[in-house]
């Protein structure tokens, strides 16, 4: 690709554009995809399988299909513009109070996200080592600070490597049980038929959707691709006069070389596909594991109960792997959630709070819930329902800005893409309305 960007000077390594090929481009979607494997997903999927068997298999499949489109659009926004969705909305929402109210709902979503992740890590440490939940929450938060320090000191790539390593642990831990006790193929096929049985199944469906298509993942993915493909490298910051035009930061869709953007978008589609296949398979594995082994077993609608039931039915090794995966899930997802929350605040309020400082502040609500003794599994599921109500506030603006030529230039969404995205948004909003109505009627 040197014909597009010019030959690098001998005193410097090859410019980033020359390295924009193959597996070197993968990573941002895998980091964003950790949001799809957080402890809220574990609680929602295990509860769905234990309480309703294979009934909600179709919800996970549908959610993951919609998630592919959503995450690709978010990533494309960061690739083409060099800005995140919160940054663009911070510029477009002109009224100060409107921007603050929008930030408030996004911040509440970020808090709900962090709530699930810290609680999940605390529960995992309790299962593995018998630690009190409050102490487990403090340790989870402390380790997440260490993970974020990797991003602060080493940059995006080492941070991605850390998160992907945790994702491998998550995958192994949640999938292992299926090799010991495979699910029923007929049950899986029946579960692909869209239907509900009561308000409880609607509640869990909304929880699964909130845990799968997570608002903070929509915000974060555009920031991750911005940081990966548009932030100057350490060498470029040290030698700004030696960089070629291809290595300047944040090119606009008008000035950025079209071939470079197309290369990045092709890699991004692969990145998102791999991430969603992994996340979708693991989420489905959780539900199938519970449906095949925990259906009808008392107490399995909680993480603690599921852990002990797995130990009784599949052996202690599978149960320990489950708990280790839950811990890795909490550590990885809480780091990504803090990253997203910091970008939301900076983009919408133009306030830059140090990432580690923000991490300390956002620990408080989760630790307060743990200290109050509220059932952790219930808190996890309700946090995911709260996330499902935040989806439209992230998804609708994403569809609007990616459909505008002034935002993406020649890379604006096709009409069919916008139409499918709009259909997804309508379905999600309709499910939330149905949840409110059914719950109010006590159905």
| pLDDT of 317 | 95
| pLDDT of 1 | 35
| pLDDT of 168 | 93
| pLDDT of 108 | 85
- CATH (domain of 240): 1.20.1740.10
For residue range 410-442, what is the model confidence (pLDDT) as tens digits? 999 999 999 999 998 888 788 777 766 766 666
Q: Which residues of the chain have pLDDT under 50?
A: 1-20, 233-255
Q: Domain count of the chain?
A: 1
What is the 3 state secondary structure string of 214-241? CHHHHHHHHHHHHHHHCCCCHHHHHCHH
Burial 128-147 (b: 16+ CB within 10 A, else e): beebebbebbbbbbebbbeb
For residue range 100-136, what is the model confidence (pLDDT) as tens digits? 999 999 888 888 888 878 888 999 999 999 999 999 9
Burial 292-302 (b: 16+ CB within 10 A, else e): bbbeebeebbb
pTM above 0.75, yes or no: yes
253 phi and psi angles, rounded to 5 deg? -65, -20
| pLDDT of 15 | 42
Say which residue the tokens 């597996």 belong to.
23
Q: Which domain holds residue 180?
A: 2-441
| pLDDT of 13 | 39
148 phi and psi angles, rounded to 5 deg? -65, -30
CA angle, residues 164, 351, 237, in degrees to nearest 5: 60
| pLDDT of 320 | 95
| pLDDT of 110 | 81
């Amino acid at each position: 690709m040197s014909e597009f960007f010019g030959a690098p000077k001998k005193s410097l390594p090859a410019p980033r554009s020359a390295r924009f090929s193959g597996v070197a481009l993968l990573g941002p979607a895998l980091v964003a995809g950790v949001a799809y494997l957080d402890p809220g997903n574990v609680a929602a999927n295990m509860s769905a399988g234990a309480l309703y068997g294979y009934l909600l298999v179709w919800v996970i499949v549908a959610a993951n299909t919609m998630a592919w489109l959503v995450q690709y659009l978010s990533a494309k926004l960061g690739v083409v513009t060099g800005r995140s969705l919160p940054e663009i909305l911070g510029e477009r929402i002109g009224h100060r109070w409107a921007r603050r109210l929008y930030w408030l709902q996004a911040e509440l979503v970020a808090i709900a996200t962090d709530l699930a992740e810290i609680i999940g890590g605390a529960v995992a440490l309790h299962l593995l080592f018998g630690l009190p939940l409050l102490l487990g929450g403090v340790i989870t938060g402390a380790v997440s600070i260490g993970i974020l320090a990797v991003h602060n000191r080493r940059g995006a790539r080492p941070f991605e490597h850390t998160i992907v390593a945790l994702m491998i642990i998550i995958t192994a831990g949640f999938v292992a049980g299926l090799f010991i006790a495979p699910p029923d193929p007929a049950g899986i096929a029946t579960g692909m038929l869209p239907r509900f049985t009561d308000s409880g199944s609607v509640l869990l469906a909304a929880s699964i959707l909130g845990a799968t298509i997570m608002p903070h993942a929509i915000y974060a993915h555009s920031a991750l691709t911005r940081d990966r493909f548009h932030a100057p490298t350490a060498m470029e910051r040290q030698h700004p006069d030696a960089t070629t035009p291809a290595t300047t930061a944040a090119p606009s869709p008008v000035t950025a070389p079209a071939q470079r953007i197309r290369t990045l978008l092709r890699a991004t589609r692969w990145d998102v596909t791999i991430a969603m296949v992994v996340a979708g398979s693991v989420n489905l594995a959780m539900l199938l594991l519970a449906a095949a082994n925990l259906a009808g077993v008392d107490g399995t609608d909680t993480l603690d109960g599921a852990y002990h039931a797995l130990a009784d039915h599949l052996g202690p090794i599978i149960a320990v792997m489950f708990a280790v995966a839950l811990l890795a899930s909490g550590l990885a997802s809480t780091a990504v959630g803090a990253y997203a929350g910091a970008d939301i605040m900076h983009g919408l309020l133009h306030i830059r709070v140090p990432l580690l400082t923000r991490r300390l502040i956002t620990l408080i609500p989760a630790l307060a819930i743990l200290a109050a003794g509220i059932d952790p599994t219930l808190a996890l599921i309700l946090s995911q329902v709260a996330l499902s109500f935040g989806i439209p506030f992230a998804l609708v603006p994403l569809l609007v800005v990616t459909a505008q030529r002034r935002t993406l230039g020649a890379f604006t969404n096709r009409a069919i893409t916008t139409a499918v995205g709009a259909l997804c948004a309508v379905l999600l909003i309709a499910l939330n309305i149905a949840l409110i109505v059914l719950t109010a009627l006590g159905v």
